[in-house]
Amino acid sequence: MKNIFRSIVMAALIMVSACNDDLLNPIPRTTFSEAVVFDSPEKADQLLNGLYATLITGQFYGSRYMIYNDIRAEDFINRTTNGVTGLSTWQHTLVSTTNEVQNLWSVAYLLINRANIFMDGVEKNADKIGGQEKVQEYQAHARFLRGLAYFSLLQLYARPYADNNGNHPGLPLRIQPELDDTNNSLARSTVAEVYSQIINDLNFAEQNLNTTNGSALKNTTLAHKNTAIALKTRVYLAMGQYENVIVEADKIVSQSAPYSSGNGVPHMLQENISDVFTPPYTSTENIFSAPFTEMALPGTQNGLGSYYNPGPRGNGDYSLNMSNGIFTLSVFDPNQDARAEWMFENTSNGFIYLNKFPRGPQHLDYAPIIRYAEVLLNLSEALVRSGGDESRALSLLNSVRTRSNPSGAYTQFSSQNSFVEAILLERRLEFIGEGLRNFDLQRTLSTIPGKENIQPVPPSSPNYIWPISAVELLTNSQMTPNN
């Protein structure tokens, strides 16, 4: 029975991977027995491609994960009252049976288990796929993806690390391949324990991933050493471990402007912000992105542009909040800031929409997961909060800010708090629509602001985090709900 189940899982991996055939030269869609799934590097590549395809499904990093993390906060206004496109997330009225609560949990754990099965398979077939060094490279990709999946789940389904130093209930930590339902029942590890596993996964990934993947496309859509390092700066920022943010960021950020990575893929800011969000989406600022093509689209009612563009390019589910959203604040100067191009007025209803992902109705825009601009601002904030080099922190902040607003450079701040607030506002502006707003609010234990008739959500509220999926509560006897 277990062998039959494994074969089904492997076949599913291969079939999923067929949707992203631009990345790893997939073999034709078919069903393989367990005996031949790993009998060549080509088939192992196909399975690895399947892991990346699982990550970038519309329910996860193809769009919805980022969307949920933005619409929880105050910068977007719901216009369609469509329960399928995040209305309950926007309203903070989620329950365990809400679609997004169950679907996001399921796809993230699907990726985690597929990564575990893949790692086990390549280990057992080292002689067929190129030896132990190749095994470690494959496992590094899988562990990067597993670490990202666990990190993503923590941001919605668990209390922030800053609340009680990670001692609240986190997630069931599944790090072994599951071939049937024997081990469904597994208690939640603490938030701190899950973060420890994430760091272990990313450290392994950094050590064993390639320095470069050989092309701009693969450097943007597949993990390499610098991808793992960049993600670690985000993870340590979430944990409030600012010295570790600095250690990691210094691996890929030069000591002075113009900032760039001295090793591996030569990451740097693009001169014009528009170049980051136009084809081919493979600039050295785009550290890691979800790719889409005519043959591999994010799917119906998915795609960032589907939510943020009005018809005919999208469904217009969310317009920009022009009452108290980021584009109404003094940090943004519509006459000087190139990011004003992200604002688009729909003349049919007068609402202002986000024009950052305009390639609808198919939604061919790549979904940005990690950008070099984020690494620079992560480092800037860590330097300020840790009492580090404030002149360097100021330069890092201004490098992002003045790229779009040349006259907007900061010169000094009256306090550490005002410096941090300026960084947080710049992040809110720079990364709008990229899914970092909820992350920034929760890691700082800030109240989620209200909008229109939706009340603010303080950290003490049960609605500050998502409920646990009803399916998980039903099938895992040791799982506990979020109260």
| pLDDT beyond 80 at 157 | yes
- pLDDT score recorded for residue 294: 87
- pLDDT score recorded for residue 16: 45
Average of per-residue pLDDT across 59-85: 98
Closest CA to 150 of 176, 168, 178, 171: 171
List own/partner pairs for 91-99 with CB under 8 A and 24 or more apart: 91/454, 92/448, 92/454, 92/457, 92/463, 93/463, 94/463, 94/466, 94/467, 95/467, 96/467, 96/468, 96/469, 96/470, 96/473, 96/481, 97/470, 98/467
Of 13-22, 44-53, 122-131, the range with the lowest mean pLDDT is 13-22
Distance CA 399, CA 430 (A): 12
pLDDT in tens, 428-482: 999 999 999 999 999 999 999 999 999 999 999 999 999 999 999 999 999 999 9
Closest CA to 443 of 24, 159, 25, 219: 159
Triad 441, 445, 449: Cα angle to 5°: 50
State both tokens at 91. Answer: 């309203």
- pLDDT score recorded for residue 7: 39
pLDDT in tens, 413-438: 999 999 999 999 999 999 999 999 99
pLDDT in tens, 127-145: 999 999 999 999 999 999 9
pLDDT band at 180; cut points 50, 70, 90: confident
pLDDT band at 2; cut points 50, 70, 90: very low
Average of per-residue pLDDT across 304-316: 94
Average of per-residue pLDDT across 6-29: 39
- pLDDT score recorded for residue 116: 96
Does an H or E element contain 101, and which? helix 99-124
Distance CA 349, CA 313 (A): 15
Distance CA 437, CA 426 (A): 11
- pLDDT score recorded for residue 331: 98
Q: Are strands 286-290 and 367-371 parallel, antiparallel or unpaired?
A: antiparallel
pLDDT in tens, 5-16: 343 344 444 444
Q: How far apart are the first and last CA of the chain?
A: 38
Distance CA 330, CA 432 (A): 16
Query: CB burial class (10 A; 0-12, 13-18, 19+) of residue 88?
Result: middle
Average of per-residue pLDDT across 244-248: 99
Distance CA 231, CA 276 (A): 19
pLDDT band at 4; cut points 50, 70, 90: very low
pLDDT band at 295; cut points 50, 70, 90: confident
Taken as a whole, the chain contains a residue count of 483
Q: Please, what is the average pLDDT of the chain?
A: 93
pTM (global) more than 0.85 = yes
User: Angle, to 10 degrees, between the axis of helix 372-385 and the axis of helix 242-249?
Assistant: 140
DSSP states of 338-367: GGGGGEEE-TTT--EEE-SS--TTTT---E
Is-contact 90 70, C-beta < 8 A? no
Max Cα-Cα span within the chain: 67
Cis-peptide, bond into residue 361, ω within 30° of zero: yes
Burial 10-46 (b: 16+ CB within 10 A, else e): bbebbebbbbbbebbebbeeeebebeebbeeeebbbb
| pLDDT beyond 50 at 34 | no
DSSP states of 140-182: HHHHHHHHHHHHHHHHHHS--TTTGGG-SEEEE---S---SST
Give residue for tokens 């929880």: 72
- pLDDT score recorded for residue 305: 93
pLDDT in tens, 186-231: 999 999 999 999 999 999 999 999 999 999 999 999 999 999 999 9
Top-confidence residue, 166 or 313: 166
